[in-house]
Amino acid sequence: MPSFSLKNVLKSFVEELAYTELDPKAVEEVSSTYVLKLVEEGVALEVAESIFRDLSERISGKKVGRLENKKEIILKEFRRLLEDLFSQAGKIDIWQRTAEAIRQKGYFTIVFLGPNGHGKTTTVAKLANLYKEKGYRVTIAAADTFRAGAIEQAQYWASKIGADFVSLGYDADPAAVAYEAVKRGEKGLSQVVLIDTAGRMHTKKNLMDEMRKIVRVSQPDLKIFVGDALVGNDAVEQAKTFYNEVGFDGSILTKFDADTKGGAALSIVYITRKPIIFVGVGQGIRDLKEFDPEWYLEMLLD
Ligand SMILES: Nc1nc2c(ncn2[C@@H]2O[C@H](COP(=O)(O)OP(=O)(O)OP(=O)(O)O)[C@@H](O)[C@H]2O)c(=O)[nH]1
């Protein structure tokens, strides 16, 4: 795992704050010089501003006893603020949700949403593999009927993993593909239905309409946004669009292994208030790791 450069920025921010009076004006002055530094580390502007505002409210006017360490106090408040953020976003126990849905109706459906090239197809394959390893019958639905190569890529992974595969070819209605796949669940042929979708169509409007249609038709148990950690602020903007237009329950952040900055996870949770369920940590089929906010905060603050 790379170490995050955001950690160094936060460290010097806390050190600088520890040399000032903890009143709103002084805190704001220090914070304002750090907003852009956070943005450079992949934290969205509005997130950086909002975090500093929250921190200022928590520490301004705080009395520090003679024997107390101001830096420790600031760090503790900062950690609490971030912990609160992650706990407000909640947690999705995907394995428990899967087992519950299978008990109730026989199958579990996930629709994956997100911009093209962020790693959706690979992520679907990784998760399909995890489900297979747990002994589930899995179907991968190639509902990205737009990007050249997308169907072959999904099919390649499905056959490698030993998953069932549903495709209606290019230019087919993606919602029809999703429908076919869900039918496999209804018929008891599959227990886990994973629907890969397109990240790009002719226009943005079409894409969002299409995603809504897929969701309407497939009635998924979970909608997961797949975003690339390296894209930083852009991924956050895209997440916002998908969230507002279609809605989702949580995210998977890909390319975490190559992210040297570290701000993307913070931003995406802050903006969507939804948990990160997994992070992608490589291109291999096993490179998917459950996201643990504690572990992330340790990487940022310890
Ligand atoms: N290093 C690294 N690379 C990844 C990870 N996840 C995906 N990739 C790579 O990112 C590239 C794009 O992944 P795809 O799965 O094709 O992306 P996609 O979102 O399905 O693309 P569209 O179908 O166009 O929407 C591929 O080269 C993947 O191997 C990850 O966690 N780490």
Q: Please indicate, yes or no, whether residues 114 and 154 belong to a single structural domain of this protein.
A: yes
Domain of residue 27, CATH code = 1.20.120
Q: What span, in angstroms and rounded, lies between the C-alpha atoms of 101 and 162?
A: 22
In testing the pocket of ligand 1, which one of 160, 283, 286 has its CB within 8 Å of the most ligand atoms?
Answer: 283
At 302, is the secondary structure helix, strand, or coil?
coil
Please check whether residues 109 and 40 belong to one and the same domain: no
The SS3 call for residue 59 is: helix
pTM of the complete model beyond 0.90: yes
User: Tokens 């929250």 correspond to what residue?
Assistant: 54
Mean pLDDT along residues 58-62 = 84
Same domain (yes/no): 18, 124: no
Distance 196 CA to ligand 1 centre (A): 12
- List ligand 1's pocket residues with C-beta within 6 A: 116-122, 144, 147, 150, 199, 254-255, 257-258, 280-283, 287
Q: How confident is the model at residue 201 (pLDDT cuts 50, 70, 90)?
A: low
> Same domain for 84 and 103?
no
**Mean per-residue pLDDT for 92-110?**
98
Q: How long is the chain?
A: 302
Which of 185, 241, 190 has its CA nearest to residue 217? 185
The pLDDT-based confidence of 3 (bands split at 50, 70, 90) is confident
Q: Which residue has the higher pLDDT, 205 or 87?
A: 87
Residue nearest to atom 6 of ligand 1 (CA): 119
CATH, residue 189 = 3.40.50.300
Q: Do 120 and 76 share a structural domain?
A: no
Mean pLDDT of 292-299: 93
- Give every CB contact of residue 189 below 8 A, 6+ residues apart in sequence: 137, 139, 164
Rg (CA), the chain: 21
- Indicate if the pLDDT at residue 280 is higher than 70: yes
Residue 33 annotated as part of some ligand binding site:
no
In which element (H, E) is residue 88 found?
Answer: helix 70-89
Distance 226 CA to ligand 1 centre (A): 10
Q: Of the residues 36, 61, 89, which one is the last residue of a structural domain? A: 89
C-alpha to C-alpha distances, 50 to 26, 138, 229, 264, nearest whole angstrom: 17, 42, 20, 15
Domain count for the chain, please give it: 2
In this prediction, residue 203 carries a pLDDT of 65
The arithmetic mean of pLDDT across residues 252-272, rounded, is: 91
Which structural domain range is residue 18 located in?
A: 5-89
116 annotated ligand binder: yes
ipTM of this complex: 0.95
CB 143 within 8 A of CB 214: yes
Closest CA to ligand 1's atom 21:
117
Q: From 229, 279, 205, 226, select the one nearest 44 (Cα to Cα).
A: 229
151-190 residue pLDDT tens: 999 999 999 999 999 999 998 999 999 999 999 999 999 9
Least confident window among 64-68, 145-149, 290-294: 64-68
61 is in an annotated binding site: no
Last residue of a domain, one of 33, 54, 89: 89
